[in-house]
Chains A and B, each alone.
Chain A
Amino acid sequence: MNDFFTKTDLTRKDAEGIISETLNKCDDGELYLENSKSESILLDDNKIKSSSYNSDLGYGLRAVTGEVVAYSHSNEISKNSLKLSADNLSSTLKSKKGIYNHEIPKTNKKLYNDINPIEEKPLNSKLELLNEVNNYTRAKGAIVQQVTASFAGEHKSVEIIRAGGEVLTDVRPLIRFNVSVMLEKNGKMETGVYGIGGRQSYDEYLKDDNWKKVCDEAFRIASVNLDSKPAPAGEMKVVLGPGWPAILIHEAIGHGLEGDFNRKKTSAFHNLMGQRVASEGVTIIDDGTLHNRRGSLTIDDEGTPTEKTVLIENGILKNFMQDRLNARLMNTRSTGSGRRESYKHVVLPRMRNTMMLNGKYSQEEMIKSVDKGIFAVSFGGGQVDITSGKFVFNCTEAYEIINGKISSPIKGATLIGDGPSILKEVSLVGNNMMLDPGIGTCGKAGQGVPVGVAQPSILINKMTVGGTQL
């Protein structure tokens, strides 16, 4: 465990005093301390392009009263700096009449081991492995023009000190391994990207030549795209494959079910609680408690233990995802969804691992039922406009379906839909639920946090495919 009070003139007792004084008559707030170390090693163009190491230390002091949040952060942990922050908060919060809520549930669970992925393996062995990855992938043929492979490891210690001296801590490992391949054939260039990761040591992911599967998959996606033809344009049926395509759920539904947008009534879902928002058979949860997963947290960034939150049950809207602020203002409890990218950021309600649960149909049945449509297997990024509910995502591997059969691969096209209505268009839910490989980062209000998604294959009756072929 990290001790934030060793190399500073600020003692724990001083800090506790400043916190209690600042948060007097506030509804909520805390001092959040963070020490994070991260490394990234990148191989590109046959060479180790960069090896970098980052060490970040800082605090964020937060006071909440009513709907107002005052926040001040700095990377100088000292008496003077914390006092400056406290003064800044007090100058904003002039009239305080809150009652500090000391209730915070406790947990003894640990969802990941206390390992430091950066230090557990010497740098040399990582450099060697990246070279092996490069050689292995390039050996697949002369069409391989470019290979990029990277390791990213992080070790983050977090301490939350609340008014009254209550302390909550967490130590969070996170790794990611990524391979990108560019192929060129007959003057046509295409890329394929694949990666894996989670809150475990590198070895868990790379043992038994597991890394080769990552290279194979990146190469396979690029190869498929080399033979792709222009995508169709217009409304049609869409079958989504299992696993990572669940970012559709994340964009289309997930963001709209975050507490802040609903409290502020800017989400298209804010007045739909208890109502049907999806076809029968559609159940969606947001689960922060899966062991070692990228989106999992033992406690969230306010100290609340995470949980498995049912968002939509059999098509009916059941819960929003809440941090403490929005829960209090909406008369409910935190779902352990209060997250921040780092000490530099305020807490917001965020997703963890967002999953659609299994139905009873096979993917084969779905494809057979489609006369004209597309089968989308993998996606790049997505985005949503919370207010209008419109969302998009970009296919990175997709095929045309003609008369119930998978036909030629098609070029990357954007799919666009309407969040509140898309789940009503889900006509079949598959029985093959899969977790994504552990690569997702979700952006909101300029903050990126690691997330996961999962789903079985699903058939959507109608979506607009943004190709070029009319």
Chain B
Amino acid sequence: MVKDQDYLKKTASFCIDLAKKLGATNSSAAIMHSISETVDFRNKKLDESDRSDSLGVSLTTYIGKKKSNISSSNLNEDNIKALIERCIETTKITPEDEFNSLPDKDLLATEINDLNLYDDDHIGNDKKIEYLKEVESAAFEKKEIVNTETSFSESKSNFILANSDGFLNGYKSSSFSASCVAVAKDIGNNMERDYEFTSTCHLNDMLKPSQIGSVAAIKTIQKLNPKKIESEKISVVFDRRISKGILSTFASAILSSSIARGVSFLKDKINKDIFSSTINIFDKPDIVKGLGSRYFDSEGVKTEELKLVDQGVLKHYLVDTYNGKKLNLKSNGRNGGTSNLFFEKGSISYNDLLKLNQKTLYITETIGHGSNLVTGDYSVGATGFMVENGVFKYPVSEITIAGNFKDIFKNITLADDLEFKYSTNAPTMLIEGMVVAGK
């Protein structure tokens, strides 16, 4: 069982009180506990079981405008005491920074409306194994599949955040996920791999095991016998697995830390057009059972829904207390980034989106870390399919796609197939005029 709120509150308060006694003018502490159990299956046999029991404390002490941080997994009282003493000593010699402070008291979260983020159900390893067997037998129904790796993970967490201004709050959350990676082989012994997964707050909301296995198998087999294509400028469609990555890049580029340091390609773009006028982007922390839902941010600041982009215009940065003070903005509760971030769905159907161009490259996977947030340059390895007049023709691999986000953002058309599978979600996305490098 994860430790209860009383234990965590007691430990957090102990830290805050001790820090004060030892000379901190302010402090904040987070105590986290999580237990997770995972079972991995491979080719219809048990491969690995893993149990993780993880307790940790993170504490920040302030002396005036000086600040330092310690963290530890050893919650032995003597150890905590020694660490807080060390933290205070370090704080004393760390130079002042005028923007260091706890969040404004009036911004701290006070009300909590239950978002149903915790499911007390426990699924034993035996039941996990039954589920995974069903996943694998569904995958192996396809004769091209030569290897499967499946995994089922259950995790329960609890935490308390406290600060010396009296904030003392936290909550339990749970997560259940299962995945299947399939490997298929063609006649020439060349292999391809693909996957499917489900991840939810509540056990009952998980996808059916057979669905995961068969989708993983079908997606893998579709990738067999890929071709490399000629280098050209072409319209590219991002599958929903990939289109959400464009949103993640956008979110990183509007972090107040990047803006305050002047290292983002979106600096100075507030209230300016950065997307085409059909684009709206929301960050909504209060979705019931939402994978990115939260009651407050990692400083205790309340989080409210933000319309980050309104008809193509950038309306908000993601502001935390420190960088907010630097930029003369109030924290909007985004220390730790976005919550449930999504594009409002478009007006065209998936099928019609694929027919908008005579030739479209449909991307299902990208590899590499090719997003430069300073310049906006984008270049990644990709695999996918060539689509002609809306019909999937053949798989494509060993190519790259490249462009600059400033142009990419202005050339996006979204389909109407938004679903909430991740914490960041986007519909299928068409981007006109990207450069593909192949042969």
Contact = CB atoms under 8 A, between A and B. Distances in A.
Interface of A: 7, 44-45, 47-58, 67-76, 81, 84-85, 88-89, 91-92, 123-124, 127, 145-146, 182, 188-191, 231, 233-235, 264-266, 268, 271, 344, 346, 380-388, 390-394, 411-414, 416-418, 464-470
Contact of B439 (A70, A235, A470): A235
A189 B376 CA distance: 10
Nearest to B68: A51
A1 B46 CA distance: 38
Chain A CB within 10 Å, residue with most, of B39, B68, B260, B400: B400
> Closest 4 CB pairs between A and B?
A466-B400, A392-B381, A392-B368, A233-B437
B55 A466 contact: no
A87 B398 CA distance: 47
Contacts of A75: 53-56, 73-74
Contacts of A265: 146-147
B399 A266 contact: no
A436 to B, nearest CB: 18
Looking at chain A's contact residues, is the secondary structure mostly helix, strand, loop, or mixed?
strand
A2 to B, nearest CB: 12
B349 interface: no
Contacts, number: 245
Interface stretch (B76-84, B157-165, B297-305): B76-84
Contact of A52 (B52, B70, B74): B70
B68 A55 contact: no
B231 interface: yes
How many chain B residues sit at the interface, stated as a range, is 35 or more
Interface in B369-383: 369-370, 372, 374-375, 377, 379-381, 383
Contact of B367 (A68, A91, A383): A383
Looking at chain B's contact residues, is the secondary structure mostly helix, strand, loop, or mixed?
strand
A411 B47 contact: no
Given A45-B261, A75-B53, A388 B191 contact: yes
A231 B435 CA distance: 11
Contacts of A380: 369
A182 B374 contact: yes
Nearest to A93: B49
Given A91-B125, A266-B191, A414 B95 contact: no
B379 A394 contact: yes
A56 B369 contact: no
Contact of B49 (A51, A92, A145, A146): A92
Contact of A468 (B68, B183, B368, B402): B402
A385 B379 contact: no
Interface in B49-76: 49-56, 67-74, 76
A52 B45 CA distance: 44
A73 B52 contact: yes
Chain B CB within 10 Å, residue with most, of A92, A264, A466: A466
6 contacts: A50-B67, A51-B90, A58-B73, A69-B48, A72-B51, A380-B369
